[in-house]
Structure 1
């Protein structure tokens, strides 16, 4: 039973955050504080989750995923209604009369900055819930229902294109220079986010254009184009937010949307940072950073078991194995995200891990790629970079002789 209950972590946290947002005022800070304390500290304190039970009630595990869409809708409507300048469809009068809830009074007690902090917590739910679950469901190419649900979840972060680029681009190109979602050694997370964001969208557009060209169809036609339908899905959500809450609600929606997308790109940054692979070689578990941190594994529906995910992309989250001998992140996902936001600290932590990867995981061909990547990065402490400089010096001496 506990193995099932752990996957209620996201719905439980989401409903708790939504409840605090109903209180307004200083309660808006509680969401982000609780997320950091519960997730980051929980990963540090609790033992790793290396369990691999057999699940039989798959309907329950799927239900946890499907609940994400109504949670995202509720969160978006709550923010839109919460900042609306007037009574929305008579809802304020109804809530005050029947439940004693004076939304306009609470709104007056909530500062713009408090709303912004609440939107940051909402961005976490957009990313950890919408993007993560959308990622899981859009891999299920055998289920039109799940793919549609997944694309709607991704639409909240303006990223329905992710269902194209991630499935048909990233999984093919990870660890190579052709993949915008693979961070190179020495990359700064802040520049990487924008490069991956734009590169991933451009790649998805190119892939969809190539697909439709085979049928003589235009990528601009939403009847056929998944790209255009995805853009219209996001636009429809934004328009609904504006109708309900006006310009301030729309601004907060874009904070949550852009924040959730940024969270995804930071996770992309972590998951393959500095790992190299030849394009012609098979993707293997060693080409992804893994973690079995307990809270991250439960909250993110085992996305943390990323090594197995890339080895068998069509596996449902409850079937992913812990791969305890795969390359490991220094801590859970949120803790590593916080590290990544401080680039000098992140590089210091990851340097010995990259040295270990080069020595214990890289093939002879990948060792050569690692040397080139390390020299190019300019990072201090990488043994492969030192080896590259020594090799270059010997070559130069031989040429001179």
Structure 2
């Protein structure tokens, strides 16, 4: 692999990486064949291959640079995320595709939602424009995880890298042990945080969790209209696949990183060292710079093309999708991560002079 690239990713790279699989999935849902296998290769094998061949993207955008078209791409991706599940259901329950092609269509759709729609929705829920925010919430609700819009903003960003955050995995906890607490704890803590906000509001309106539930109910109703009970089952399967990737992303990006407790009992401020990062070219484009995770926690409203890579931010040795795949095998994950975590742990201070204890 060549050395680091001298320029940050242009917006065209984000658009090409995220949108290229969409026509492949659309054509594949109608006629199957090579279209589906090409989409699957783009979202899986091609990412792993290109990340090894292309230079790392260490360069940062100019501080204060603006990207006026960045939100337009997010809106387009959000709308695609709403259209792809019904399209996949139509193809997977029709008669034009073989059983392997139907499986590839369902799996590829879940990959696109988890790898691309999730980062897009994540960006949207951090926007101050209420229309963009609502689109992000709708995308998450379409994937039957609308509460993530609440738990991520109100719980994860506040308590990241502490035991109070269900999305932060302590060192030594495997992904499959982490998953139930992350899923159930995220729902519960997000509900608690939204309810607390409502108590302090003079005009609280409808509870956000009710909005999430209504949107998810609309998604499942649409699934039933398209294909009856099999449609509901397939939508649940696609959503579960996307949710698994959301939790994998949280697991990998904060695994084993802990904020220190200050003498006054508070947690230290969030710093670059509390998130894992990567600088691989293709997966950075595919995931809308989500691998530059430390800067996102420092500047949640900063648009994704402007995210920076702090020098003191810990880096994973693999692209984020590959790290997530490794995390599915906890013994392998722990063995491979152990030396990288050890390098982040400061050595114990030497004993004071005259102290004879070992």
Q: TM-score range by the shorter chain?
A: 0.7 to 0.9
- What is the aligned partner in structure 2 of residue 106 from structure 1? 96
- What is the aligned partner in structure 1 of residue 145 from structure 2? 159
- What is the aligned partner in structure 2 of residue 242 from structure 1? 224
Of residues 188, 213, 221, the one that matches 2:199 is 213
Is residue 31 of structure 1 aligned with residue 17 of structure 2?
Answer: no
Question: SS where residue 59 of structure 1 aligns?
Answer: coil
The 1:57–1:176 alpha-carbon spacing in structure 2 relative to 1, beyond 3 Å, is closer
Write the distance in 1 (CA, Å) between the matches of 2:305 and 2:36.
33
How many residues are aligned here?
A: 340
Q: Identify unmatched segments of 5+ residues in structure 1.
A: 85-103, 361-366, 369-386, 388-393
The 1:59–1:216 alpha-carbon spacing in structure 2 relative to 1, beyond 3 Å, is closer
TM-score of the superposition, structure 1-length normalised?
0.78
Give per-residue Cα distances to partners, 1:134-187, cap 9 Å, x unaligned.
1111112x2111101111111122122111111111111111111100011111
Give per-residue Cα distances to partners, 1:206-235, cap 9 Å, x unaligned.
1112122234889xxxx5200111111111
CA contact (8 A) 1:131 1:157 kept: no
- Structure 1, 2-11 or 52-61: larger mean CA deviation: 52-61
Equivalent positions of 1:118-197 (< 5 A) are: 118-140=105-127, 142-197=128-183
Larger radius of gyration: 1
Give per-residue Cα distances to partners, 1:331-377, cap 9 Å, x unaligned.
111111111112121111110110111138xxxxxx79xxxxxxxxx
Q: Identify unmatched segments of 5+ residues in structure 2.
A: 1-7, 261-265
Is residue 255 of structure 1 aligned with residue 237 of structure 2?
Answer: yes
- Structure 1, 192-201 or 54-63: larger mean CA deviation: 54-63
CA contact (8 A) 1:28 1:115 kept: no
Question: SS where residue 197 of structure 1 aligns?
Answer: helix
- What is the aligned partner in structure 2 of residue 101 from structure 1? none
Write the distance in 1 (CA, Å) between the matches of 2:259 and 2:78.
36
Is residue 331 of structure 1 aligned with residue 318 of structure 2?
Answer: yes
Write the distance in 1 (CA, Å) between the matches of 2:247 and 2:330.
15
Question: SS where residue 346 of structure 2 aligns?
Answer: helix
Write the distance in 1 (CA, Å) between the matches of 2:118 and 2:203.
29
- What is the aligned partner in structure 1 of residue 335 from structure 2? 348
From the two aligned structures, give the one with the greater helix fraction: 1
Equivalent positions of 1:216-231 (< 5 A) are: 223-231=205-213
Of residues 268, 283, 286, the one that matches 2:270 is 283
Is residue 7 of structure 1 aligned with residue 14 of structure 2?
Answer: yes
Write the distance in 2 (CA, Å) between the matches of 1:39 and 1:347.
23
Equivalent positions of 1:89-100 (< 5 A) are: none
CA contact (8 A) 1:275 1:288 kept: yes
CA contact (8 A) 1:7 1:61 kept: no
**TM-fit CA distance, 1:19:** 2.5
- What is the aligned partner in structure 2 of residue 70 from structure 1? 79
Give per-residue Cα distances to partners, 1:22-44, cap 9 Å, x unaligned.
32267645433332211122212
Write the distance in 2 (CA, Å) between the matches of 1:59 and 1:345.
42
**TM-fit CA distance, 1:198:** 0.6
Write the distance in 2 (CA, Å) between the matches of 1:2 and 1:125.
20
Write the distance in 2 (CA, Å) between the matches of 1:217 and 1:53.
41
Q: Over the residues paired in the alignment, what is the CA RMSD in angstroms?
A: 2.7
Of residues 287, 290, 312, the one that matches 1:300 is 287
